[in-house]
Amino acid sequence: MRPIGYWLNRTDRALTTRMDAMLAEDGLTRLGWQVLNAVHDDPRAGDAAVAGLLAANATPAALAGAVEALLADGRLTRPAPGALALTAAGRDCLTEVGAKVRAFRRLAAEGVPDEDYRTAIAVLERIARNVEAMGEGADRR
């Protein structure tokens, strides 16, 4: 049996590769899609909030590049320094591309019962919290 890190890396790489290919026709990447959703979910979110929310998903440079691409293509705007907001094009993109992403997610989880999916998420969350706590000097034995 391969260790969990192998499967995490392989799954993330597969998700990113396939989502990037699917979203390319809409001028997006997986990370760009995540940025749009982060701004949608918190309309007051600026660069710092989006970076904090998506820190596990990308390097700061990649995240800054995704934000700049969305600003350049008119899906995001800066109402104030450091602030981000969806434009009408950004909102339309979320609506139009959302159906594709939902279909992608259904296909990705095909054959996985809902209970197993919820269990997998709970296990991964627990492992992440355990490993993060190690970095904080916590002794969990």
Question: 10-55: per-residue pLDDT in tens?
Answer: 999 999 999 999 999 999 999 999 999 999 999 888 999 999 999 9
CA atoms within 13 A on the CB side of 123: 8
> Is the same domain home to 75 and 131?
no
> Is the same domain home to 88 and 35?
yes
Work out the average pLDDT over 72-95. 96
Determine whether 65 is exposed, middle or buried from the number of CB atoms within 10 Å of its CB (0-12, 13-18, 19+).
Answer: middle
Mean pLDDT of the chain: 93
> Is the same domain home to 33 and 60?
yes
> Is the same domain home to 130 and 69?
no
pLDDT band for position 139 (cuts 50, 70, 90): low
> Is the same domain home to 135 and 94?
no
> Is the same domain home to 81 and 98?
yes
> Is the same domain home to 120 and 63?
no
pLDDT of residue 43: 80
Question: 103-131: per-residue pLDDT in tens?
Answer: 999 999 999 999 999 999 999 999 999 99
pTM as predicted: 0.85
Q: Which of 7-11, 43-47, 93-97 is predicted with the least confidence, judged by mean pLDDT?
A: 43-47
> Is the same domain home to 75 and 18?
yes
CATH number of the domain residue 9 falls in: 1.10.10.10
> Is the same domain home to 79 and 65?
yes
Count of domains for the chain: 2
pLDDT of residue 135: 77
Work out the average pLDDT over 92-97. 95
> Is the same domain home to 29 and 77?
yes
CB 120, CB 113: distance < 8 Å: no
Taken in order 63, 137, 7, 105, is the CA torsion positive or negative?
A: negative
Helix (H), strand (E) at residue 7? helix 4-24
> Is the same domain home to 128 and 76?
no
β-bridge mates for residue 86, sequence order: 76
Residue 137 reports pLDDT greater than 80: no
Residue span of the structural domain in which 138 resides: 112-141
> Is the same domain home to 13 and 50?
yes
